[in-house]
């Protein structure tokens, strides 16, 4: 998945499908509904805590609280759940953001999907729903952040959603004791999703998941490779994972300082960067 703290976990089961759901069509996939009442909100918090492995009260509070979810939902922000056969299998939380003095974008804050459902299109269904929800409220842009070392998130964001990278921020959130990020540097790529771009329109309104946008490696391009599975590497060789972090950070920062920008990923899931004046090209 895609946000500041996007993850997928295993062996958990939350229920609580609303009695009177108000689903917004999202194409193939789970039923996605706004979460409002206490039972729904508590189930969403439990899902996120389980996905992140947040076991202590301190870790859970670091990640998200029931009261914050309730407040965001009550104040009209984006708090939705994905249900399959009456079970909550994923949720996403977003809030309105303002860069011009008035709300001008939706910031997608946190997304969690249970491990068994991660490859069943749940993440894409949530994103399609989120896009439609934002457009209905006059919002044309959704932003979020993600760890550049999580290869599958880069692929999802750049190749499946057609989003753009706007910046690299070292240790963006500082220290997070939330389970997944405990004892890790919180470097993040900042993402901006133009909801009305031609490619996004076709990808999000066509057959779910059929389109991919792979960047071509043009003359002058620079490539940045990341581990295939950074989570497993952290478990098996944490020192090597840390070296990967700093190496990738140095490459991104140096290239951004030289006026390069990220234009996508290759089929091998390498980041492709081009000079800002160069027009990118994508595989047909």
- Whole-prediction pTM: 0.88
Q: Look at residue 55 in the predicted model and tell me its pLDDT.
A: 86
Q: Look at residue 3 in the predicted model and tell me its pLDDT.
A: 58
User: 80-95: per-residue pLDDT in tens?
Assistant: 999 998 999 999 999 9
Distance CA 271, CA 9 (A): 26
Q: Look at residue 185 in the predicted model and tell me its pLDDT.
A: 78
> Which residues, listed in sequence order, are joined to residue 84 by a DSSP beta bridge?
87
C-alpha distances (whole Å) from 197 to each of 23, 133, 164, 192 are 25, 16, 11, 12
Given a cut of 70, the residues of the chain with pLDDT beneath it are 1-28, 116-119, 176-183
Distance CA 63, CA 178 (A): 5
Q: Look at residue 178 in the predicted model and tell me its pLDDT.
A: 55
Distance CA 260, CA 215 (A): 15
């Amino acid at each position: 998945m895609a946000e500041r703290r996007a993850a997928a976990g295993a062996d958990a089961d939350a229920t609580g499908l609303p009695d009177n759901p108000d689903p917004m069509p999202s194409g193939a996939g789970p039923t996605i509904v706004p979460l409002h009442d206490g039972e729904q909100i508590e189930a969403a918090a439990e899902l996120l805590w389980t996905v992140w492995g947040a076991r202590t009260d301190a870790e859970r509070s670091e990640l998200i609280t029931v009261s914050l979810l309730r407040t965001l939902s009550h104040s009209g922000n984006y708090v939705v759940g994905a249900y399959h056969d009456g079970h909550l299998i994923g949720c996403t939380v977003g809030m309105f953001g303002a860069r011009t003095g008035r709300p001008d974008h939706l910031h997608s804050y946190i997304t969690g999907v249970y491990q068994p459902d991660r490859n069943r299109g749940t993440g894409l269904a949530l994103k399609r729903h989120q896009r439609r929800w934002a457009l209905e409220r006059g919002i044309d842009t959704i932003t979020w952040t993600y760890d550049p070392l999580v290869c599958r998130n880069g692929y999802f964001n750049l190749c499946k959603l057609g989003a753009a990278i706007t910046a690299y921020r070292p240790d963006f959130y500082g220290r997070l004791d939330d389970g997944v990020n405990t004892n890790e540097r919180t470097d993040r790529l900042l993402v901006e999703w133009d909801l009305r771009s031609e490619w996004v329109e076709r990808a999000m309104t066509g057959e779910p998941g059929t389109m991919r946008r792979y960047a071509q490696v043009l003359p002058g391009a620079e490539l940045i490779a990341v581990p295939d599975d950074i989570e497993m590497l952290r478990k098996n060789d944490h020192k090597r994972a840390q070296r990967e972090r700093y190496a990738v950070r140095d490459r991104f920062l140096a290239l951004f300082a030289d006026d390069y920008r990220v234009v996508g990923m290759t089929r091998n899931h390498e980041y492709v960067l081009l000079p800002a004046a160069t027009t990118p090209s994508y595989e047909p």
